[in-house]
Amino acid sequence: MPPRNLELADSSSNMGTVPQPIRRKLVVVGDGACGKTCLLIVFRNDEFPEVYIPTVFENYVADIEVDGKQVELALWDTAGQEDYDRLRPLSYGTYETDVLLVCFAIDNRDSFVNVADKWVPEIKNYCPKAPFLLVGNKKDLRTDKARRKELAEMKEEAISTEEGLEMAKKVGATAYIECSAKTREGVRDVFESATRAALQKKKQKTTACCVLM
């Protein structure tokens, strides 16, 4: 789906005309297979994809109401594999990014470590002024017996909530939210919180401009 025009127009400049919808751009990053695409699809379509298909770049548009405001959210999915490291930055700057989700899989410690080692440095480089949320995907696998057994055999364990909160504080995330696309738990919380952060970013930017004048 080609991206829609993301020119921002929160209110009409002429009285009597219909105001344009509030539009915000959200970009999702994280390791491959950490649950980014499933999170977006469940939020947009309320349907969990059972088959994993690696993403290169995908764009979606979803409407969400937050605090009485109707927002048209442009959702930008990105590839986490190293093969796409040179292409991925294009998704940050095609239009101004308003907020990002930095994702990891709760059952995959490597994806968690890469939050601080790779993803946060990358987004701070390309989107230094955009707020970001840390999102722990696949929450259901923390208590899944089969997955816990697999992790134990590898002498590993799932990421705890406390570890997630500590990481969020360490990297400067706006919030830390855990969710499960499979059970739907926490999915809407992720996007409501992200939308609020995006709206607040624009509000602060507008206020700053007024002060300068």
DSSP3 helix / strand / coil % (the chain, rounded to 5): 40, 20, 40
Spatial CA neighbour of 168 closest among 203, 202, 201, 132? 132
Q: What Rg value do the Cα atoms of the chain yield, rounded?
A: 18
CA distance linking residue 43 with residue 26, whole number of Å: 13
Instruction: Tell me the three state secondary structure of residue 39.
Output: helix
- pLDDT of the residue at 1: 44
Q: What is the percentage of the chain residues whose pLDDT exceeds 90?
A: 74
- pLDDT of the residue at 54: 73
pLDDT (tens digit per residue) in 166-209: 999 999 999 999 999 999 999 999 999 999 999 998 666 543 33
* Bridge partners, residue 61, by sequence: 74
pLDDT band at residue 50 under the 50/70/90 scheme: confident
What rounded mean pLDDT belongs to the chain?
88
**What mean pLDDT do residues 121-149 have?**
98
Q: Taking the model in full, what pTM does it have?
A: 0.86
pLDDT (tens digit per residue) in 79-114: 998 888 999 999 998 569 999 999 999 999 999 999
Q: Hey, what domains does the chain have and what are their CATH numbers?
A: 22-201 (3.40.50.300)
